[in-house]
Amino acid sequence: MPAGPDRVLITSEQIQTRVREMAAQIEADYPDGPLYLVSVLKGAFMFVADLARALKRPSVRIEFMAISSYGNAKTSSGQVKVTRDLDVNIEGYNVLIVEDIIDSGVTLSYLTRILQQRRPKSLEIATLLDKPERRVQPVNVKYVGFKIPDEFVVGYGLDFAEDYRNLSEIRVLTG
């Protein structure tokens, strides 16, 4: 059992400021029509909630998918599968995938491939965290909250073995 996550990497205030900045940029980029936020469970639940609240545009639609890639291990197994699909048809709509973290890129490269086949009007990615050093598969990410070093982080939706998702800041898991 690892020790507690005792080093704060990104404070709650830093996250909230950055989320508002990202929302402003997204609003400028999508002036009209419905915008689907496709959030990837479970890790993105807190980010999508804050991002959605920060968006003041009229039509924001929130949909969830679940993709499994890690299990309870600290490193990616490279295995990806959809465990919960969308309930809606996204054909012809602007779609923004909302993720908590991009690590190897395996999850997002798979997800963008399958969603693109559904012919959205546009498909982009917003991630709170990006670990570019870890990339194995290329991913075209339009909105990045914070680039972070290759350390195991928890909090603000991110877990270790399902714990720590409730923290309002991002911490480095030590031990």
When the beta carbons of 34 and 49 are compared against ligand PRP, the nearer one is 49
Residue 145 touching ligand PRP (CB under 6 A): no
Of 9-17, 56-64, 104-112, 140-148, the segment contacting ligand PRP by CB under 6 A is 104-112
Of 4-12, 56-64, 65-73, 141-149, the segment contacting ligand PRP by CB under 6 A is 65-73
103 is known as an active-site residue = yes
**Using an 8 Å Cβ cutoff, are 158 and 101 in contact?**
yes
The one catalytic residue among 50, 100, 103, 130:
103
Query: CB of residue 48 vs ligand PRP: minimum separation in angstroms?
Result: 11
**Using an 8 Å Cβ cutoff, are 127 and 93 in contact?**
no
Of 22-30, 87-95, 103-111, 144-152, the segment contacting ligand PRP by CB under 6 A is 103-111
Residue 132 touching ligand PRP (CB under 6 A): no
**Using an 8 Å Cβ cutoff, are 25 and 155 in contact?**
no
C-alpha to C-alpha distances, 138 to 65, 80, 92, 109, 154, nearest whole angstrom? 21, 16, 25, 7, 24
Query: CB of residue 56 vs ligand PRP: minimum separation in angstroms?
Result: 26
What are the strands of the beta sheet with 143-147, ordered from one edge? Answer: 81-84, 60-68, 35-41, 94-102, 122-130, 143-147
Residue 146 touching ligand PRP (CB under 6 A): no
User: Cα 2 vs. chain centroid, distance in angstroms?
Assistant: 25
CB atoms closer than 10 angstroms to residue 7: 12
The residues that touch ligand PRP, with contacts defined as CB under 6 A, are: 40-43, 67-70, 76, 99-108, 159
